[in-house]
Amino acid sequence: MKCPYCMEINNKVIDSRLSKDGRMIRRRRECISCNRRFTTYEKLEDVRPMVVKKDGRREPFNRDKIITGIRNACQKRPISITKIEEFVDSLEIFFQELGKKEVDSFQIGEQVISTLREWDEVAYVRFASVYRHFKDINEFIAESEGILNSRKKED
């Protein structure tokens, strides 16, 4: 492992800790050359499914892309990054455990959108407007009315 500060490869592990879910090890390291400390994460390499996009393209499952989309939807909303990352962790594990080599992007999107609907209505509408490609304000209003109607049914 190269030191991010001086780029030397000689370093020592000061501390190792297992993550909460036991799938990753966090290591604190100290560079022998510059004596600065840095953190690395080690996890088992697992085979992630390919995501089949609407247009038929295939790309590797990318958790960072999902996190970015959810973070954008949740911007200035009371949802922590920890909650988002834990959800994406569980989403990633779910699709790995399916054992499929390919997953439709639709399946991923629907899981994200249903979770956001439970968490926060504003974040849900933001994500839905991008995910479902709202073409005009009428589609946005229709989705908002759907939320209001479901809220009335619950009361």
Give the per-residue pLDDT at 155: 62
Q: What is the pLDDT of residues 24-79, one digit of tens each?
A: 899 999 999 999 999 998 876 666 789 999 899 999 989 999 999 999 999 999 99
Q: What is the pTM for the complete model shown?
A: 0.62
How far apart, in whole angstroms, are the C-alpha atoms of residue 145 and residue 153?
A: 12
The closest of 98, 42, 47, 92 to 66, measured between CA atoms, is 92
Give the per-residue pLDDT at 13: 96
Return the residue matching tokens 């920890």.
Answer: 82
